[in-house]
Structure 1
Amino acid sequence: MTGKLPSDRVKFAFEPEFETIPIADIIPLRIVGSNVKASLKYGQIKSSIHHSGLAEPPVVARDRNDRGKFLLLDGHIRLAVLQEMDVREVNCLVATDDEAYTYNKRISRLAIVQEHQMILKAIKRGVPEETIAKVLNLNIASIRTRRRLLTGICPEVVELLKDKHVPMNTFTELRKMKPLRQIEAAQLMVTMNKFSITYAKSLLSATPPAQLVEGSKSKKNSGLSQEQIDLMEQESANLDREVRLIEESYGKDHLDLVIAIGYVRRLLENVRVVRHLAQHYPELLAEFQKMADSSQTHSGQVLNR
């Protein structure tokens, strides 16, 4: 084969130049509610924009019914922050296809291990801790805690939990275990999709003293007899076996769920469908969005995002 691809076969995903657009002409496809504005994520984005400016431009598509208006595909929180700051216009990346996919559905909240690695890279590049704290809307003590997050955690556990949303205190409990037990505990967390500090403490309580690092203590002396500890360990092992048996017969039912949720997602990725539902059936649209968001939260490792 020689020559170039015919130009009519190549379609650019975005217009070649950024466009400065009045915020009043941008139409959001979802509402940023008060609960979102009260979240840590919103505060971090607001702080980042205030201290460092807008690092990532919103993605919009031209409204096919009104070429002077733009549909917001990605950047709803960023746009809400800019409106709150009384900014009147913003540089945007203009997509050429408003139905390819809903951009914000492809973006996941930063996992704690990823945040830790980002902080280490910033410090290595000479960024002061005070600046990192301001950008992330955290105090310096919290930044230092995140910087030391993986001290005493074995690499296999880091790999297992690198994209999971794990509370920082969970790593404190894992750190009290020896590497092999850390791996075993992390595998149980992934299998059960439970990463809470309470679950981590229960795993620590069921850990034999020989599998604890020197100087660490489990909660075995807080009202639990050795017989109760042994029973907990047995129940944990039985539960693990039952979960694995369920996983073997889980495929078909989950495949049906994936297909159904996939269809709902495709509906929500069609801007015209979303606009029609928002105008005429807002309650139905809200339920569809809950369904898609919930399935992504609980089955993010399985569903194709």
Structure 2
Amino acid sequence: MTSEQSKTANIKHAFEPATTHLLLGDIVPLHLFSADAKSSTKYRQVQSSVREIGLVELPVVARDKDAPGKYLLIDGHMRIEILRELGIMEIECLVATDDEAFTYNKRVSRLATIQEHFMILKAIDNGVPEETIAKTLNVNVNQIRLKKRLLKGICPEVIEMLEDRFVPMNTFTELRKLAAVRQVEAAQLMIAMSKFSINYAKSLVGATPQSQLVDTSNPKKVHGLSDAQMALMENESANLDREVRLIEESYGSDHLDLVVATGYLTRLLENARVVRYLAQCFPEILSEFQKMTEPNRSAPTTSRRRRAPIIRPI
């Protein structure tokens, strides 16, 4: 046996090689579903999907070491509850080799808005009717048509930037009003601020000069804002953009200077004579120095040199 084969032989499999059909009565949930959870939009969507096309993802269980023949439900509580409501009493499951009670879903990347758009397009290309997709997702067919046209008028750079983000559909409606260059700037601001709401998108449109809109002929109108207020927003947005770019250019060197200065002050305050002198002559400065170096002084150290006591000004 080669070394590579030996390594492969020592790898512990996360799941048993074959799936298992189990009765719902033999599966022990780790938590129960409340009435509020059952009335959520997510629950109704999964319920509709199971009813229309069956299970897409198998529940994950682990053998109960204290009760032979019973299985702990690790992942799939919502699906199991829906199957019970639908009267389905036997289900195919993945059997995990470890009964770790962590949630598998924390390791799963959720379907973002743009990814859902591509999924709908692929389903339609494969011949699935829009009505069937709407029933599966428990939404109106008009919403499927809107999602199908989601990226019309959105430049490729913005699509790439937002492809793994959860962005409301109406936000893309606002982005379509902007020229390609301004779309990229708006997407960068959204990511930097971690804000993708429709109201934030409207504010970005309101702060955009007329020359950077797709339709430059019609005057820009934002509900609740006068022309003077929009002009002020444009000026403030331009100033803020310049300030952000200046900060980005100097951030690296400024951060390095701060680290070096903080390290120097930390070493300085390890000297009891220096601390005593500052406490007697410049208590305000000592107080500020100690605030600046507090994280460094509270962190554990491997140095054998005894630290000087922290002297608070009286």
In the superposition, the TM-score normalised over structure 2's length comes to: 0.71
For the pair 1:113 / 2:114, whether they are aligned, the reply is: yes
Q: CA RMSD in A?
A: 2.8
> Alpha-carbon deviation of 1:112?
1.3
> Alpha-carbon deviation of 1:185?
0.6
- Give the letter aligned to residue 188 of structure 1: L
Task: Give the conservation status (yes or no) of the 8 Å contact 1:73–1:104.
Answer: no
> Comparing 19-28 with 127-136, which one deviates more in the overlay?
19-28
Match of 1:263 in 2: none
> What CA distance in whole angstroms lies between the structure 2 residues aligned with 1:6 and 1:172?
53
Render the CA deviation track for 1:29-65: whole Å, top value 9, x for unaligned.
Answer: 3333333322222111111110111121101111222
Match of 2:191 in 1: 190
Name which structure has the greater RCO, CA cutoff 8 Å, separation 6+: 1
Match of 1:176 in 2: 177
> Alpha-carbon deviation of 1:230?
3.9
- Describe the shift of the 1:193–1:31 C-alpha distance in structure 2 as closer, same or farther (beyond 3 A): farther
> What CA distance in whole angstroms lies between the structure 2 residues aligned with 1:36 and 1:238?
46
> What CA distance in whole angstroms lies between the structure 2 residues aligned with 1:18 and 1:115?
28
- Describe the shift of the 1:217–1:146 C-alpha distance in structure 2 as closer, same or farther (beyond 3 A): farther
- Describe the shift of the 1:237–1:98 C-alpha distance in structure 2 as closer, same or farther (beyond 3 A): farther
Match of 1:159 in 2: 160
Q: How many pairs does the alignment contain?
A: 249
- Describe the shift of the 1:31–1:130 C-alpha distance in structure 2 as closer, same or farther (beyond 3 A): same
Task: Give the conservation status (yes or no) of the 8 Å contact 1:46–1:81.
Answer: yes
> What CA distance in whole angstroms lies between the structure 2 residues aligned with 1:216 and 1:168?
24
- Give the letter aligned to residue 76 of structure 1: H
> What CA distance in whole angstroms lies between the structure 1 residues aligned with 2:218 and 2:201?
14
Question: Unaligned 5+ residue runs, structure 1?
Answer: 253-305
Render the CA deviation track for 1:167-193: whole Å, top value 9, x for unaligned.
Answer: 111110000111011111111111111
Match of 2:52 in 1: 51
After TM superposition, what 4+ stretches of structure 1 lie above 3 angstroms from structure 2? 215-218, 220-223, 233-245
Task: Give the conservation status (yes or no) of the 8 Å contact 1:149–1:171.
Answer: yes
Match of 2:72 in 1: 71
- Give the letter aligned to residue 151 of structure 1: K
> Alpha-carbon deviation of 1:236?
3.8
Match of 1:218 in 2: 220
The residue matched to 1:44 in structure 2 has which SS? helix
For the pair 1:15 / 2:16, whether they are aligned, the reply is: yes
Question: Unaligned 5+ residue runs, structure 2?
Answer: 260-314
> Alpha-carbon deviation of 1:222?
4.7
> What CA distance in whole angstroms lies between the structure 1 residues aligned with 2:7 and 2:178?
61
The residue matched to 1:93 in structure 2 has which SS? strand
